Amino acid sequence: MRKICSVVGARPQFIKLAVVSRVLRKRFQEVLIHTGQHFDANMSDVFFEEMDIPRPDYNLGISGGSHGQMTGQMLIELEKVFVQEKPDMVLLFGDTNSTMAAALAAVKLHIPICHVEAGNRFGTLDSPEEVNRTVTDHLSSINLPCTQSSLEFLKREGLGHTATVVGDPMYDAFCYYTQRLDGSELQELVDPDGKPLAVPDAFYYMTCHRQENTDTDEKLQHIFDALEALDAPTIYPVHPRNRERARRLAVQGGYKKLLLAQPVGYKTSISLVNHAKKIVTDSGGVQREAFFAKKPCVTVLDFVVWPETMANGYNQLAKPDKEDILEKLHREITFDPAYQPFGDGHSAEKIVEKIEEYWR
């Protein structure tokens, strides 16, 4: 049986791994490596537990520091693991520092790479995710884009011969776990002090963690001011990176409609998406989940991450500016139920089939 080393390190990768690993392990020996990029229990352990992901065979415990420091340390430690395990292939997801470090380690050892969620482009190298994904695409033997637009980017870069559209494993996960929600997951919300947080009958849901939105008081305050002006409270699970700033601004601003919470697991998050009036986010994953749930979404970014979600105003870009966010949120949006560009919910099977095809 051939051996596959799957490398993950961050929340979106755990979600994709959950559905792919379930199929992969029926046909291959999987060695699971967690770089430790997301190490907080609420950002890591909870996903493995509630999504029944096998425990990692290796946890490298690498997080923090600059992009260069983190990537370099991961490269060193991943190379050691690959030398020891001698995998037939390395399986990577998305666009984190863990992804690129693993690609660099693998290619220098002449190990073929399969890259899931390949080809997406933001159009700016100011984004570290753009750098990570582009480098990984060009080092991979198999590129598996989620959508047709991602395939077109790969073709323009001369990588069309390596690429096949397989759909989005995030959509697989959303379909699978949404069917298993029973409402109890919403009772697990707690505020930053660990006290239970009651979920209002009507609410908005926000995730906001990117450095460009949370690195100054002014930007985050503009976002909070917009939420305070809405017709219902907003639930905001706060990323560990900006926990202190968010709590301080919430107290200083005296916001009544901003409900800060500790980070949530996957089931709680998609339950919040499914029950919210609308979504505000800067996450590539959450904007897709909003689309899957047919919920209008405002993405606080200055570049398009998933063009498919932008059709008919389903997802709209906004600046970290109160008036811009509110203007976008107040637009009435109607979804076309027939429009589903992210596959049929069975991308995991297609991913494993493409891996098998590589050796045939």
Chunk the chain into consecutive blocks of 10 residues (it has 360) and report each block's average pLDDT, rounded to whole numbers: 95 92 97 83 66 90 88 97 98 96 98 97 88 97 97 98 98 94 90 93 94 89 96 94 90 95 92 97 94 97 92 96 97 94 97 96
CATH fold for the domain made of 3-168+343-359: Rossmann fold (3.40.50)
Q: pTM for this structure? A: 0.91
Q: Give the residue numbers annotated as catalytic, written as ranges.
A: 209
Tens digit of each residue's pLDDT (9 = 90 or more) over 47-82:
778 888 889 999 999 987 888 999 999 999 999 999
Enumerate residues 6+ apart whose C-beta is below 8 A from 96. 9, 10, 12, 13, 37, 129, 132
pLDDT of residue 40: 57
CB hemisphere CA count around 182 (13 angstroms) = 2
Beta bridge partners of 8: 34
pLDDT of residue 241: 79
pLDDT of residue 39: 60
Q: Which sign, positive or negative, has the C-alpha torsion 165, 274, 238, 226?
A: positive
Domain boundaries, the chain: 3-168+343-359, 184-329
CATH fold for the domain made of 184-329: Rossmann fold (3.40.50)
Give percent of the chain with pLDDT exceeding 90: 81
pLDDT of residue 213: 87
Neighbouring C-beta atoms of residue 107, cutoff 10 Å: 18
Contact predicate 246/220, CB 8 Å: yes
3-168+343-359 and 184-329 in the same fold:
yes
